[in-house]
Structures are given as C-alpha cells and as structure tokens.
C-alpha cells in the first residue's frame, strides 16, 4: 500500500490517504484555459498579449479607446478561442475584417441546433453504428447536422466537440483572415523593425504585420 497526502487550496485542511487499489489522477483530465496557463513559447517585450479574461475586464472597465480600429489576433481553435471571436464581434463590435484567427487544427463542433441538441452522447452512438470508423461517423453526423465545422472545405482533424449554435457559427465564419500553419512557436519584434512576427516553427512561413495595427 502507498500513502498519499494532499491539502485544500487554502492550506487549512490536510489529508492522508492509504491507497489500497489504484491512484487515479483526475488532474490529467482538467481543461487548460489561457488565464491559468501562460504561453509556453517566447514573446517579445512590447507585444500586447492578453488572455480572453483580461480582454473582457479591460473592455468592461475602460471601453478600450479606439478598440474597433485595432487588429486582433486570436490564437487557437478551442471553445475559448471561439468565444473570443464571438465576443469581439458582438460585445466589442469589432469588424471581422480586423480579426486574424490562427487555427492550428480544425475541430468538429456539436451543433446545439441539431437533432441531438448538442448532446455528447450522439457521437458515441454514431461511432458504434459505424463500427468504430471515425471518419465515416463524423461525415454522417455532419450530413445530419449534428456536427458542424468552421469551413465546409476543410475536414477537421481534432475531436474536441465544443457546442455551438447557428448564430455563433455564422459569426465565426465571418472571419476570413484565417491562418492554418500549425501552432504558434514564437511572437517576436525584430530589432529596428516596426512589425510583429509570429512564428510557426522552421517549416512554416511566419505571419508578419505592422506593430501599429
């Protein structure tokens, strides 16, 4: 038997557990959100990088002067990034033309307005019906309207299953400045140049634009 110890977040309660069968680490299944996990790549000093939470707080308190003319770069294709793209357009009234969306991998999304109502049980049932063929199951769910994707011409490669509605999907599809070059590896400010360079590794061309924007 192995003895494990843990305590409450405030440190006031401490516990000792004698594990008789198996220790299950539930932390491994936790969602990682930007506000709790800073970027794991170099970011040059002077580049304004904020989490969606901070963006919301800053806009709510100061209304962010000239924010509608500012260019925003949203990184990621998870539910947090999707919510950010929607928030920029609905609450902050930012034009989709001023949004650059970096999508490392397209994802299948559950349609809240579909027959399954966005429930997570629809996919396992379809997967069983397709004898475990994920591509066939996803294609059928897409055809039935239970699965949706940002671009009908791009087949998603990730199965994160965020739940979205029809109006949310319309807003996401309004963003045409989409970059699909993999994950961001760096955000730099080259010396003597007034531009921001977003890197995607050695095999992909970096994204460059004026710092003033």
Instruction: Quote the CA–CA distance of 105 and 78 in Å, as a whole number.
Output: 9
* Vertex 79: Cα angle to 70 and 25 (nearest 5): 130
Burial class (CB in 10 A: 0-12, 13-18, 19+), 196: buried
Pseudo-torsion of CA 150, 164, 139, 204, nearest 10°? 30
Bridge pairing between strands 109-111 and 147-148? antiparallel
Helix, strand, or coil (residue 171): helix
Mean pLDDT, rounded, of the chain = 89
Which residues neighbour 195 within 8 Å (Cβ) at sequence distance 6 or greater? 189, 208, 209, 210, 211
Per-residue H/E/C for 27-38: HHHCCCCCCCCC
Instruction: Quote the CA–CA distance of 153 and 61 in Å, as a whole number.
Output: 40
| CA nearest neighbour of 84 among 148, 168, 160, 27 | 168
Whether 92 has a pLDDT exceeding 70, the answer reads yes
Higher pLDDT, 36 or 132: 132
pLDDT grade for 119, boundaries at 50, 70 and 90: confident
Q: Are 162 and 107 in contact (CB under 8 A)?
A: yes
pTM above 0.85, yes or no: no
In this prediction, what percent of the chain has a pLDDT beyond 90? Answer: 62
Whether 86 has a pLDDT exceeding 80, the answer reads yes
């Amino acid at each position: 038997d192995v003895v494990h110890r843990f305590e409450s977040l405030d440190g006031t309660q401490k516990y000792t557990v004698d594990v008789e069968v198996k220790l299950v680490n539930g932390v491994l299944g936790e969602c990682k959100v930007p506000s709790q996990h800073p970027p794991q790549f170099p970011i040059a000093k002077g580049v304004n990088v904020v989490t969606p939470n901070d963006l919301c707080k800053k806009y709510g308190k100061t209304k962010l002067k000239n924010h509608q003319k500012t260019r925003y770069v949203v990184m990621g294709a998870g539910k947090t990034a999707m919510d950010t793209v929607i928030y920029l357009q609905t609450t902050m009234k930012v034009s989709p033309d001023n949004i650059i969306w970096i999508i490392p991998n397209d994802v299948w999304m559950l349609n809240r307005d579909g027959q399954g109502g966005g429930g997570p049980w629809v996919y396992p049932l379809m997967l069983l019906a397709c004898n475990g063929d994920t591509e066939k199951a996803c294609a059928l769910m897409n055809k039935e309207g239970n699965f949706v994707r940002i671009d009908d011409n791009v087949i998603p490669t990730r199965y994160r299953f965020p739940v979205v509605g029809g109006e949310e999907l319309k807003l996401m599809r309004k963003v045409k400045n989409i970059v699909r070059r993999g994950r961001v590896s760096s955000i730099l400010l080259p010396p003597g140049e007034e531009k921001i360079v977003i890197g995607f590794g050695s095999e992909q061309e970096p994204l460059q634009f004026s710092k003033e924007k």
